[in-house]
Structures are given as C-alpha cells and as structure tokens.
Amino acid sequence: MSKIKLTYFDFSGGRGEPVRMALAIGGVDFEDHRISIDEFRQMREDLPLKAVPTMEVDGVVYTQCNAMTRYAGRLTGLYPEDPWQAFLCDELMEAIEDTSNALVKTFGLEGDEMKAAREELVNGTFTQYLNFFSQRLDAAGGEHFADKRLTIADLKVFSWVRSLNAGFLDHVPTDLTSRVAPQLMEHMNRVAKDPRVASYLADIE
C-alpha cells in the first residue's frame, strides 16, 4: 500500500472532506494533515496549484479533489466497477464542483455585496442543483446515487448538504435543503446512519 498524506483545512466539509471520509471509512491508513487558514497562506506558494486539498502519495504531491476522491473510492470499494455506475458517480461529483466554484466567487465580498451575491446563489445555482440532485436520486431508486449502495457520490453530496445546513455560510438559510429538496435531507440522514459513516462522524465531532 502506498503511503498517503491528505492535506486539507481543519474543518468538516469542503472539497477535501469526501476524500477524507472515503479513506477513513474504507479503513485506509493515511496521514490526515489538517491545517489552519494561516498555515495554508504560509504554504500556498509551495503547492503545485496553490490550492488544497492535496494528496501526497509516496512523496509526490498531487491535486484535484475529484481525482483524489475516485482514487480513494477505488482503494476502498466505494467507486463502482461498472462503467455506467461510475459515470453516475462522476456526474454528481462534477456537479458538486460547479456549486463550489460558484460559492468561491463570493469569498472576500462584504456587507450588502456579500448578501446580494449569496442570495443570488441561493435562489439560483444552489436551488437549481438541489433539484437536480433530487432528480438523480429518484432516477437511481431513491436510496443512493449509484450502484444501489453507498459510493463516493453519496459522500460528496452528503458533505455538501451538511455544509449547507451547518450555518457557517453567511446568508445561506440552514433550511434551504429541507425546503427545496427534502429527499436530500432523508439521504443525508440515511448516510449518517451507515455504521462506517457514523463511526467517522463520532471520531471528528
């Protein structure tokens, strides 16, 4: 087994969390290197693309969160072997990145400008994607997003919905998901009750 070191911020959620979750619940031995914002600023210029998460494998640092998540999924059996089911996972993961990219554009804004940008995000991109994810969940049978079992797609959506509900995104209502896509709340609760996920959450909270 390769030596793996995942570097990401010291909080639950964000782009690195599904990678962290997949490795942890899959029983992979890895170094969970959690950093502060100040530490990130100090190390940023030395990172390949000046961003985290990064994954160091056998001494070489790699980037791109979805590539890392797929790798973690393959190591742990959380990424489908069937090409079509893998595609369904990939579609969901790339869609989550769309929402992350839209959110990042609001970082650094303040006051009324921040409020207006976040409200536009809530009423536009976030609502659109919540509806899209609900449709995909329905199409897959209503329990999981692919392969009729827990996969990295479930972990990716789970992490995103938890972040929306957490209340640390200013001007993003914590009841947005329950109002727009109650099925995703049920999905989040279902994933949280998976014994592997429940154990992981208990360890970090």
Give the per-residue pLDDT at 202: 94
User: Global pTM?
Assistant: 0.95
Residues 115 and 94 in one domain: yes
Look-up: residue for tokens 């947005």?
176
Among 59, 76, 93, give the residue marking a domain's end: 76
Please report how many Cα atoms fall inside a 13 Å half-sphere around the Cα of residue 101, on the Cβ side.
Answer: 8
Look-up: residue for tokens 């742990």?
76
Look-up: residue for tokens 């049978």?
141
Q: How far apart are CA 48 and CA 104, in angstroms?
A: 19
Tens of pLDDT, residues 63-107:
999 999 999 999 999 999 999 999 999 999 999 999 999 999 999
Q: How far apart are CA 140 and CA 133, in angstroms?
A: 11
Q: Of 128, 139, 130, 134, which Cα lies nearest the Cα of 87?
A: 139
Give the per-residue pLDDT at 2: 87
Is-contact 193 163, C-beta < 8 A? no
Give the per-residue pLDDT at 205: 75
Give the per-residue pLDDT at 163: 95
Among 52, 76, 100, give the residue marking a domain's end: 76
Q: What is the mean pLDDT of the chain?
A: 96
Tens of pLDDT, residues 140-171:
999 999 999 999 999 999 999 999 999 989 99
Tens of pLDDT, residues 13-23:
899 999 999 99
Band of residue 12 on the pLDDT scale cut at 50, 70, 90: confident
The β-bridge relationship of strands 4-9 and 31-35 is parallel
Which residues touch 59 (CB under 8 Å, ≥6 apart)? 3
Identify the domain containing residue 46 by its residue range. Answer: 4-76
Residues 49 and 68 in one domain: yes
Residues 38 and 100 in one domain: no
